[in-house]
Amino acid sequence: MKKMAWLATTLAMVSAPALAADMSLKAVKAPPPPAFEPWDIAFGSALMNDYIFRGITQSNHKPSVAAYFEPRYNINKDVQLYIGAAGESISFPNRAAAEIDIYGGIRPTIGMFAFDFGLWGYIYPGGQCFGSQGATLQGNCAIFGGNTDFGEPAGGLPINGNFAKKSASFYEGYAKVNVTLNDQFQIGLNEYYSPNFLNLGAWGNYASITGKWTAPSTTFGASGFGMYISGEFGRQWLGTSDAFYGTTVGTAFGGPFPNGIPEPSYNTWNIGVGFTYKVFTLDLRYSDTNLSKGDCNAFTSDYTATRTGFVTAINPGGFGSNWCGAAGIVKLSADLTAMTNLK
């Protein structure tokens, strides 16, 4: 009996290395790392009940649709070049009904810091001129006495006499950084500058700080759903407009400004919650500014403003606009990339 046990032990000791060697020969090799893909394309679309830009409606508080297309080139895993085009439906005082965006830049990433530097052009085709009572040519139309030869109603917009140039197109340079603190928290800083904001003749500078909390991936289990809470606080500084928007009407508040009005600088903020599922995002957001109704009217040339009694230094007519006040935004969007979603 002892001899049989000894023999079994010996056989096991001899065969074990051989079995191990055989297993190592049959093991499947690990797959190679995925090849680096320098090219990618991001694209998507959105439907929203109100298109708000820096706290101010661009769609007269009506629904808006948007879409974008953005080819990207990754120089390496930390540096990306991109160029893009986007479009949104709008409702502007000059009757422009669409915004076309052309933009491009570079996105370097250094550790937890994701930078973004570029140039953004805003184009508003299809505009008409509704002119002021100046004595020269500005803003692509005659502004002397409402010269109808240039398709310009005397006294500006029919309802309230606000002025609007045929073209509101402009461009901005921007610099942004997003800091990923951990899997849940991000903060960001943004800076935009335009030498002629909205073609008002006034420079514009916008700076903001953003924050975002993303729910842990275990919050919804394996359902594929996600959630986040995000917000932004920003300030838009503005210079003095050109004479097209000037006023010769004196007020007790410091006017008149025949050579152009000092456009009103203002604060804006928003906060909201978003729900994600695969490529879809439903974002529910509150937005507001500290602009008065009178200054809002002077800044936006709101073609719907009819209430009076909101006289300010730059708004002697007293019409008041609600385009800059509190607004609730519901936005449903889909965002895809070719390398991730179309393989």
Note down pLDDT in tens along the chain; length 343 residues: 444 444 444 444 444 444 344 444 455 566 666 677 899 999 999 999 999 999 999 999 999 999 999 999 999 999 999 999 999 999 999 999 999 999 999 999 999 999 999 999 999 999 999 986 543 344 446 443 333 333 344 458 989 989 999 999 999 999 999 999 999 999 999 999 999 999 999 999 999 999 999 999 889 988 889 999 999 999 999 999 999 999 888 777 788 999 999 999 999 999 999 999 999 999 999 999 999 999 999 999 999 999 899 999 999 999 999 999 999 999 999 999 998 888 7
φ/ψ of residue 7, rounded to 5: -65, -40
Q: Is residue 77 part of a domain?
A: no
- The verdict on residue 164 lying in a domain is yes
The overall longest dimension of the chain from CA atoms, in Å, is 122
Predicted confidence at residue 28, as pLDDT, reads 55
pTM of the model: 0.85
Whether 89 is in a domain gets the answer: no
Q: 142: which strand partners?
A: 137
Task: Return the bridge partners of 138, or none.
Answer: 141
Alpha-carbon distances, residue 147 vs 29, 98, 139, 144, 323 (angstroms)? 80, 26, 14, 6, 29
**Tokens encoding 334:** 């889909």
DSSP type of residue 315: B
Flag whether 116 is in a domain: yes
What the block records as the tokens of 30 is: 């690990």
**DSSP readout, 231-298?**
EEEEEEEE-B--GGG-B----TTS--BTT--BPPPEEEEEEEEEEEETTEEEEEEEEEE---HHHHHH
Query: What pLDDT score was predicted for residue 33?
Result: 64
Q: How many domains does the chain have?
A: 1
Domain extent for 287: 103-329
Q: What's residue 29's pLDDT? A: 61
Give domain status of residue 319, yes or no.
yes
* 189 within some domain: yes
User: Quick check: is 49 in a domain?
Assistant: no
Count of C-beta atoms within a 10 Å radius of residue 51: 24
